[in-house]
Amino acid sequence: MLIDAKVQEGFEIARKSRENAHAPYSNFQVGAAVKFKGIDKIYGGCNVENASYGGTVCAERTAIFSGIIENAKQEIEFVVVSVDTNPVTVPCAFCLQVMSEFASEDMPVYLGDLESIKKKVLFKELLPMPFNTLDC
């Protein structure tokens, strides 16, 4: 798979961010990276679990929130996820719904392990019908 330099940089950030995950309950460490359109910086995130479980935040959301804190609402250009599973895993439905606020249906989501990106999917393939109160 041909990966451009920015996506490769995102993968490296996701993989490195994964090392900071706090996952004492699931032992499932996840790293993510998010690039927003028109912004050069790529934001990393890791999952942070909590004994209350409801207080747990996924890697994808921590990366998105970090970018929004610095830049306000922006459209996401791409997301990269790094895990140590085979096959690689996709973002959970909670994260996909959060992404839907900031992503076009054709936004690429890159899925990787600890070695490289293994798969590219479009956001609409992962969440074809996001909840949107504006359409109700």
60 is catalytic: yes
Residue 40: enclosing H or E segment and its boundaries?
Answer: none
Q: Annotated catalytic residue: which of 12, 60, 105, 115?
A: 60
Per-residue b or e along 41-72, where b marks 16 or more CB atoms closer than 10 Å to that residue's CB: ebbbbbbbbeeeeeebbbbbbbbbebbbeeee
Phi and psi based region of residue 15 (left: phi greater than 0; alpha: psi -120 to 50; beta: remaining): alpha
Phi, psi dihedrals of residue 119, rounded to the nearest 5°: -155, 145
Catalytic residues: 60
